[in-house]
Amino acid sequence: MFARLVYESFRRQKRRKLLAGAAITLGVTVATAMIGVATDIGDKMNRELRQIGANLVVTPQEDSLDVEIGGVNLKPPTDGAFLNEADLPKILGIFWHNNITAFAPMLPVNVAIEKDGSRKNVTLVGTYFAKRLSYGTDAITTGVKTTYPLWKIAGAWPVDDSQTVLIGERLAKQIGVKAGDQISVGGREEPVSGILATGGAEDDQILATLNLAQEILAKPGAVKRVYVSALTKPEDAFGRRDPKSMSGAIYDRWYCTPYPAAIALQLTEVIPHSRAEQIRQVAQNEGTVLTRIEGLIFLITLAALFASALAVSAAMATAIFERRAEVGLMKALGAGKVVVASIFFAEATLLALIGGLIGFGAGALLAHQIGRSIFNSQISIQPVLLPVILAIAVIVTFAGSAMAIRRAVRLDPVFALRGEL
């Protein structure tokens, strides 16, 4: 009899049930898509933000030591501290090596350039452009081409281990150089493969292969800085703790979380006599962007579920009002409040499960479309999320139905049968 009452309710109130089911489906669709995007957005946004450039920098440890006595800085005025180029492949051996998207060594050298009889002192920076490195079974093609993908080149990228150079856009205008010209760099005639535009200090510099800078400086294997682009997790209160104050499982948890500081520590462990730190402005801006986007997703989800609950409430209130005589008859025949409430909650549960299943499928398609249109990659909804979505659908439906069902169980059968309510 109980099942028949529920069945008859759906059969006789198709439009009301369809309206409530549609509201649940729409709310669950948005919630499913937003939860799917939220679980995947950290990595997707990190990869998008990595287009900006490096977020970590590794320098010689000696460069970071400041010694002051009586307010006088006694740090030696020397540029003699260098990293060893041979240690760079070891970056692929750190715990979070899969989060390293690219890195670029830098070796600045002061040189004099000559063009058509004019002479100018500028900075030449030796680096990798797209160099293939391997460490054990891991390999990566890395350099400024992948570390700074937004850099614009008029011409062609130099080939690593060649003698070609890039000229910064502002510098090229000053000395009248274009791609394909020859330029005298430190007494060497070098072909210009392209003109570089970054909007930064590089527009006034020359970029060359690391080998060329090492030859000019007469320092084989020397590297001054290494800029590292890594996928990281925004720092929270735990991530900002000093690892020296941790021990045991707490330290392992911090070390095995891709915080910028944790990856920086791992870089110093594999590169001898080095110091790694965040490029604070980049890291903090990324954390702020991710936090605000996640907050926006949370608000959209709450708004969709709240609107769904309101629609369900309106539909259920109308449906119960139309069935007041039926409720009055059940109570007149001896049905208690629990029995009457259980019928309506059973209907609500069935609606929630149907709407939740349909909304889960529609939400998966919506999340996939968001991933393709915004991130140009796939966002997939894991099946393990289905029970969570169904639970959300049931909670929203119960929340929207509770007030109407409460009024139904409190109906006086005498007035209900006389149609006075």
Rounded mean pLDDT, 93-115: 90
pLDDT at 119 over 90: no
pLDDT for 68 = 45
Provide the terminal-to-terminal Cα distance of the chain, rounded to the nearest Å. 26
> pLDDT band for position 180 (50/70/90)?
confident
The helices-and-strands tally (H runs, E runs) of the chain is 12, 16
Q: Is the pLDDT of residue 75 over 60?
A: no
**Helix or strand or coil: residue 240?**
coil
**Nearest to 61, CA basis, from 267, 263, 256, 281:** 267
pLDDT band at 103 (very low <50, low <70, confident <90, very high): very high
**Cα angle vertex 70, ends 67, 71, to 5°?**
70
The residues pairing with 274 across neighbouring beta strands, listed in sequence order, are 60
The pair of three-digit structure tokens given for residue 217, joined into one six-digit string? 């400086």
pLDDT of 304 strictly over 50: yes
Tell me, letter by letter, the H, E, C secondary structure of 156-167.
CCCCCCCCCEEE
* Phi, psi for 329 (deg, rounded to 5): -65, -45
Longest dimension (CA), the chain: 110
Structure confidence at residue 70 (pLDDT) = 41
Tell me if 363 sits within 8 A of 29, measured CB to CB.
Answer: yes
Q: If pLDDT is split at 50, 70 and 90, which confidence band does 324 have? A: low
Report how far residue 119's alpha carbon sits from residue 188's, in angstroms, rounded to the nearest whole number. 13
| Burial (CB count <10 Å: 0-12, 13-18, 19+), residue 20 | buried
As a whole-number percent, the residues of the chain with pLDDT over 90 amount to 29
Q: What is the mean pLDDT of residues 18-36?
A: 86
Lowest-pLDDT choice from 138-152, 178-192, 283-297, 361-375: 283-297
With bands split at pLDDT 50, 70 and 90, how would you rate the model's confidence at 2? Answer: low
DSSP tag of 397: H
| Environment class of 396 (CB within 10 Å of its CB; exposed 0-12, middle 13-18, buried 19+) | buried
Distance CA 34, CA 300 (A): 8
Give the residue extent of every domain in the chain.
Answer: 2-47+287-417, 56-157+209-278
Q: What is the pTM of this model?
A: 0.65
Task: Report the pLDDT averaged over residues 223-227.
Answer: 94
Q: Annotate 304-316 with b (16+ C-beta within 10 A) or e (fewer).
A: bbeebbebbbbbb
21 touches 351 (CB < 8 A): yes
Please, which residues bridge with residue 106 across strands? 127, 225
Is 155 exposed, middle or buried, given 0-12, 13-18 or 19+ CB atoms closer than 10 A? middle
d(CA 41, CA 294): 8
